Structure 1
Amino acid sequence: MNKLLLPLAIAGILAGCSKSEAPDTSARMAGNTESAAVQQASLGSGIDLAAMNTSVRPQDDFFAYVNGNWMNNTEIPADKSRWGGFSILRDQSTERVKALIMEASEGANSADDRQIGALYNSFMDEKQIEATGLDALTAELQKVDAIDSRKDLTDYFAYADTVGYQVPLGVFIYQDIKDVENYIAFLWQSGLGLPDRDYYFDESEKGQKLQQAYMDYLVKVQDIAGLKDSSTFADKIYALEKSLAKHQRTRVDNRDPEKYFNKKATAELADLMPAVDWQSYLSKAMLDKADHVAVGQPEYLQATSKIINETDMDTWRRYLKVKLLTAMAPYMNSELAQAHFDFYSTAVRGIKEMEPRWKRAVQFVNGSVGELVGKRYVEKYFPPEAKARMVELVDNLKAAYRDSIEDLTWMSEETKQQALDKLANFTTKIGYPDKWRDYSGLKVSADNLAGNVLAANLFEAKYERGKLGQPINRHEWGMSPQTVNAYYNPAMNEIVFPAAILQPPFFNMQADDAVNYGGIGGVIGHEIGHGFDDKGSKFDGKGYLNNWWTDSDRDNFEHLTGKLVAQYNSFEPLEGEHINGELTLGENIGDLSGLGIAYKAYKMSLDGKEAPVIDGFSGDQRLFMGWAQVWRSKIRDEALSERLKTDPHSPAKYRVRGVLPNISAFYTAFDVKEGDGMYLPEEERVVIW
């Protein structure tokens, strides 16, 4: 996975994927109703009329009104934790990418074709994978056995991070957010097997059950590998991870760039973390060119230094073997792969079955040589007129943001000028990169999946760490064109929309403008909104972490965002489990501002004319319905519980339920009155941008 896609660097429309769960690229809907729904949505207004439940009043539950029949008649596929509009597009993208991969593999007319084919075929060669078993990891396990000193240990930490094994200290490369013309290496807390630090301290019945399931996994993975004293070491590994977790920051704290950007000269690291031979570590980690680093959590490094010295070497070696086996399990023989799936997919997220192997193979190819496939995807599936229409929509959204900023009553003229300057400096990327990545240095084989995984991870690490000392690559993308997502990158001050998201229900060239403004318009507005959310607003128009606010304006902003936090804190998607309004604040601001500005842009696009009534709905109604159908989704309780703890995005339903009551035009469009379920007293409504 491209390490550019990190919570501190990228703010996207969707949640990112953890190492233990692949993207939802292969879900399918029970029965055949989905294809009919997609066909319906592509005609007329662009609203999926068959998905609606008109027995529900839109004034009481707008999400159910727009999506209720679909919700009632849809089952989450056994191999998925969630299913909805994004999953449909990802499924379509996966099918398309498979066809492109097969064309490349069967033709093999170029080095790129052979590379794509070798990666795919190595994943699909199940017979070879089963026959080789864990022998494929013998050399890697021997590296752990060779650890004989604290220096060996921390040198191994450096190596392991470059090939994709989780260790207590992670590295990624990003721009120096106080000197954005240069790259810097970030040192970041890592090393846990449970999804988040808070899981280790959850005393609830659900929390205790998952902790025990993880303990069972630790035992099982050791047993599969033939390692002795698995129960004893499972206890030790869990205790080690809990000690690391104790000193890690929460996800809320790790959202704040003023807290996570702690620039240190490499010479200072010895005082901060003396257990590490930093000259050796930086060399092994391919960070020789680094004279400074950004330490995400300095107190964690200090505590981990003590943990390194206080933990016996046998425990460290066993911990590292489990991390190695865990990282490689999805690519190994069925026994280890199943054990990994049973915990990370079933216990954590409620998924019943693995995806078909070919779909996992497609994901592997996408993750390894994404732009090789992306170039082919764009040539076949992304027409020039779609890009031209997107440019027009983005320009309209920017114009609406500009008008809205100028009309703000809570912000001074001094700060408004800074906000307008930032807006004027936004860069927009649509569809695909101007320059494609060169993967010729990646050497792969059609009969060695494990070797290909390690080679691809190491290739990516060399690429990323090779940026140090080089000019900033402003052509680079953090997502491939076939990715169904979008993002904002604060240090670049750029919004990026890959080709694959520019399809119904987000973007429909045949649909009415209102639905497109409610769909892709809301997405565009969401990403621009990240430039002005609680985190993005700390970066200026050139991408620097820089306070461009007056104190009073910042106070006004935080008063408004505090009200939004309280609104979302009140939502309880599962009994006893609430949305974390602080964790989700940036995405909630993106949603609220994005849809509000999309509505304003739509009204501006009408140029004073009255929108036609289509399918019995006014233009304003269709816009809000377009937003609601974008978030049509079902999710398993286990996965929802995990996301409430770890995901900076609110659950799909609340991206409708939380946003619309704050937008006055929604009240007019659907005649919402006091006493209705979607009603919010005017003094409680939040309008930020």
Structure 2
Amino acid sequence: MRLFIASVLLTGTAIAGAASALSAKEAAPAAPADTGSKPQLGAFGFDDKGMDKSVAPGDDFYGYANGAWAKNTPIPADKSNYGMFTALDDLSKERVKGILDAVKGDPASIVGRAYSSYLDTATVEARGLAPIQPWLGKIKALNDKAGYTALIVEGVKMGVSGPLRGYVGQDDKLPENYIFTMSQGGTGLPDRDMYLVDNPKMMAIRTAYVAHLAKLLQLAGEQNAGARAAAVMALETEIAKVQWTREDSSDAAKTYNKYTLAQTAQFSTPTFDVQAGLKALSPKIDQVLISQPTAIKAIAGILDKAPIAVLKDQMMLRSLDSLSSYLPDAISNENFAFYGTVLQGTPQREARWKQAVSFTEGALGDAVGKEYAAKYFPPEYKAEMNKLVANVLDAMGRRIDGLPWMQPQTKARAKAKLKNFTVKVGYPDQWREYVGLEVKSDDLFGNAIRSNQFDYQYMLDKLGEPVRKWEWGMLPQTVNAYANFGMMEVVFPAAILQPPFFDPKADPAVNYGGIGAVIGHEISHHFDDQGAKYDEKGALADWWTPADVAAFEAASKKLVAQYDAYEALPGEHVKGEFTLGENIGDLAGLTIAYDAYKHSLGGKQAPVIGGYTGDQRFYLGWAQIWRRNYREANLRQRLLTDPHAPSIQRAWVVRNLDPWYAAYKPKPGQKLYLAPAQRVKIW
């Protein structure tokens, strides 16, 4: 998806308009109103019981700060990984459950009806595949390739993944306008490498995937399932071969390719008519951004050559997988067995109530979020957070002023860009409404389809309208934060503004090392390898001098090499180029937050607390937020699909910062030690 929103932690949830050693109980308060006078973690906001002081900070700062936590914290059976983010996410789900339980069964409550429909497993099981059969029948009745495009369009609106993906977002070069953007799709595995790389792990995934497809066909009552599944796999492998890499697909300049509706005819084939599909989606589409034009054209050609029977089988399989959560356990368990267990290593599904919470939030997010924000985000949190953001923004301005490699004219525009930022904290000032969406307490599948169609139309309706700057890309109860380049904004939902990230009662050093670094991370995204391509108005433009670009790229290459060298699993390394934007965000964010912390002291020396200096506590605050244990399968997939480095390596970014060396005295020869000339400095 080509929406240039960068987040502190990519959770796998879409951020477009469609739709982490603490236990969960220790991770956050029962309710924010319970503020007291002491920090909620440890003596000063850091859980020192989670440390392993037998580890030298200079060898492994993550292990030093978090080793005992990592050793003593199991991953729950329904999780692919577990840490600060997931602990707080569990807390959010518990809180939302309380909100939804209060209206469950209330016919007057739209969220109550949606929640009840997911919990009504008896009705779901009794109806079996009957709710999806009309759609599957429509697919099976397709005998003419000319009807393929119309079915794809209908499926996309229902929430079925297709050969292409599309959304309405800002035009990167004209950010005051909305435009429809189209990108590559057509595969059921999360990354092209899973089809193309020949090592034992990837080959095992492919074998399991074909078995999964065959099982779905059998559950749908289809014959000759094995051969048909193999044929779909062969089709998707051909598609994977022409798809762009994630590195190229993340490049804002390479993926900005604008076409008129008439010009999209060049991508069309008799089987897959791209132009006709766009017309069918919305009469408002007169221009389109195509992220990977060579891939789109090649995919259309592959589909044109494929037998219609294989195209129908793939569409049927994509429908069963995409909509599995709203179907009986036979289907949803099979989907989880592959995507949850094989790919992520997760032993069991979440409890039904957790799934119901996620469904209700997905269908009616703002309606739920409005209640969450009112109940769980006190005004003092927002006021304190706004102060922190202002301090970090000021620190970024000072960093720009002092950059030795940036030219004066570029500095002036960078400062102007900083002044144009919009800061959003906690929750939206305006909430989305759901007038016209039909939700029934006894119709889960129907609710899901109607909600998907409603959301897709809501998105399409933006075309030709003023940009909705009040909209958020995350819900208040989401444990994350993001930067939106076109909107010129940094956004911090309520749920992340809790310990260990933020606690008004904690030592400021810990807060600056935690949420302060998150703030700096999101601010610096606007100046990372992609964000820096957007000017002070949020438009994709060349506004740096050649000398600026050369200096920035030289430092970036050093950071790429540093992360390329990290072996996260035996024989499997972090991809430095793919994770560059987030690594710049961590490096710059921590640098900026440190400056803001020191400035906040007003020239005074921070007191020693618990035997730690202020600077030591600052870096402990940073390391603490990255506590996370992974299942091997989950980590392996993240190395392919997650633009963030694993948590251990994120904590290690401190090795580039001179004040960390002064604070912890790492010595030459220790694993994290870098000579001053080797330390990467960008912002």
Conserved? CA contact 2:195–2:240, under 8 Å? yes
The amino acid that maps onto 2:579 is: T
Pair 1:282 & 2:278 matched = yes
Rounded Cα–Cα distance in structure 2 between residues aligned with 1:414 and 1:36: 47
User: Structure 1, residues 499-550: CA drift from partner, whole Å, max 9, x if none?
Assistant: 1110000000110110000000000000001000000000011110001100
Pair 1:533 & 2:522 matched = no
Conserved? CA contact 1:8–1:255, under 8 Å? no
Pair 1:174 & 2:174 matched = no
Rounded Cα–Cα distance in structure 2 between residues aligned with 1:684 and 1:382: 43
Q: Displacement of 1:672 after TM fit?
A: 1.7
Paired residue for 2:614, among 602, 614, 619? 619
**Secondary structure in 1 matching 2:500:** coil
Q: Displacement of 1:430 after TM fit?
A: 0.6
Pair 1:239 & 2:239 matched = no
Conserved? CA contact 1:28–1:77, under 8 Å? no
Rounded Cα–Cα distance in structure 2 between residues aligned with 1:609 and 1:99: 45
Q: Who is 2:461 aligned against?
A: 466
Paired residue for 2:292, among 267, 290, 297? 297
Paired residue for 1:439, among 434, 438, 461? 434
Cα RMSD, aligned residues only:
1.9
User: Structure 1, residues 333-361: CA drift from partner, whole Å, max 9, x if none?
Assistant: 11111111110010001000111100011
Rounded Cα–Cα distance in structure 2 between residues aligned with 1:239 and 1:188: 21
Deviates more, 1:35-44 or 1:379-388: 35-44
Counterparts in 2 of 1:387-406, with a 5 A limit? 387-406=382-401
Pair 1:202 & 2:167 matched = no
Q: Who is 1:97 aligned against?
A: 96
Rounded Cα–Cα distance in structure 1 between residues aligned with 2:665 and 2:119: 56
Conserved? CA contact 2:519–2:589, under 8 Å? yes
Q: Who is 2:481 aligned against?
A: 486
The amino acid that maps onto 2:304 is: N
Q: Who is 1:674 aligned against?
A: 668
Rounded Cα–Cα distance in structure 2 between residues aligned with 1:199 and 1:426: 39
Conserved? CA contact 1:41–1:49, under 8 Å? no
**Secondary structure in 2 matching 1:175:** strand
User: Structure 1, residues 99-118: CA drift from partner, whole Å, max 9, x if none?
Assistant: 0111233566xx5xx11011
Rounded Cα–Cα distance in structure 1 between residues aligned with 2:191 and 2:563: 21
Pair 1:49 & 2:43 matched = no
For structure 1, the 5+ residue unaligned runs are: 1-5, 20-24
Distance 1:35-1:688 versus aligned 2 partners, 3 A rule: closer
Equivalenced residues, count: 671
Distance 1:278-1:72 versus aligned 2 partners, 3 A rule: closer
Q: Displacement of 1:198 after TM fit?
A: 1.2
User: Structure 1, residues 58-116: CA drift from partner, whole Å, max 9, x if none?
Assistant: 222111111111111111111110000011110110000000111233566xx5xx110
Rounded Cα–Cα distance in structure 1 between residues aligned with 2:2 and 2:661: 34
Q: Who is 1:22 aligned against?
A: none
Conserved? CA contact 1:273–1:301, under 8 Å? no
Q: Displacement of 1:278 after TM fit?
A: 5.0
Q: Who is 2:35 aligned against?
A: none
Pair 1:514 & 2:509 matched = yes
Deviates more, 1:424-433 or 1:53-62: 53-62
Conserved? CA contact 2:407–2:548, under 8 Å? yes
TM-score w.r.t. structure 1 length? Answer: 0.95
Q: Who is 2:570 aligned against?
A: 575
Conserved? CA contact 1:13–1:523, under 8 Å? yes
The amino acid that maps onto 1:365 is: T
Rounded Cα–Cα distance in structure 2 between residues aligned with 1:148 and 1:266: 28
**Secondary structure in 2 matching 1:349:** coil
Rounded Cα–Cα distance in structure 2 between residues aligned with 1:337 and 1:218: 13
Rounded Cα–Cα distance in structure 1 between residues aligned with 2:475 and 2:141: 38
Rounded Cα–Cα distance in structure 1 between residues aligned with 2:47 and 2:463: 49
Q: Displacement of 1:37 after TM fit?
A: 14
Distance 1:339-1:18 versus aligned 2 partners, 3 A rule: farther
Distance 1:28-1:192 versus aligned 2 partners, 3 A rule: farther
Q: Displacement of 1:681 after TM fit?
A: 1.3
Task: Determine what percentage of the aligned residue pairs are the same residue.
Answer: 44
Counterparts in 2 of 1:64-213, with a 5 A limit? 64-105=63-104, 111=108, 114-213=109-208
Rounded Cα–Cα distance in structure 2 between residues aligned with 1:188 and 1:270: 16
Q: Displacement of 1:150 after TM fit?
A: 2.5
Q: Who is 1:661 aligned against?
A: 655
Pair 1:561 & 2:526 matched = no
Q: Displacement of 1:609 after TM fit?
A: 0.7
Rounded Cα–Cα distance in structure 1 between residues aligned with 2:407 and 2:504: 40
Conserved? CA contact 2:27–2:84, under 8 Å? no
Paired residue for 2:409, among 414, 426, 429? 414
Q: Who is 1:3 aligned against?
A: none
Rounded Cα–Cα distance in structure 1 between residues aligned with 2:513 and 2:220: 52
**Secondary structure in 2 matching 1:135:** coil
**Secondary structure in 1 matching 2:103:** helix
User: Structure 1, residues 155-209: CA drift from partner, whole Å, max 9, x if none?
Assistant: 1111111111111011111101111111000111012111111110110011111
Conserved? CA contact 1:621–1:670, under 8 Å? yes
Q: Who is 1:686 aligned against?
A: 680
Conserved? CA contact 1:40–1:48, under 8 Å? no
The amino acid that maps onto 2:373 is: V
Counterparts in 2 of 1:328-367, with a 5 A limit? 328-367=323-362
**Secondary structure in 2 matching 1:187:** strand
Conserved? CA contact 2:27–2:88, under 8 Å? no
Pair 1:585 & 2:542 matched = no
**Secondary structure in 2 matching 1:653:** helix
The amino acid that maps onto 1:176 is: D
Deviates more, 1:571-580 or 1:305-314: 305-314
TM-score w.r.t. structure 2 length? Answer: 0.96
Conserved? CA contact 1:185–1:290, under 8 Å? yes
Q: Displacement of 1:143 after TM fit?
A: 2.2
**Secondary structure in 2 matching 1:70:** helix
Conserved? CA contact 2:268–2:275, under 8 Å? no
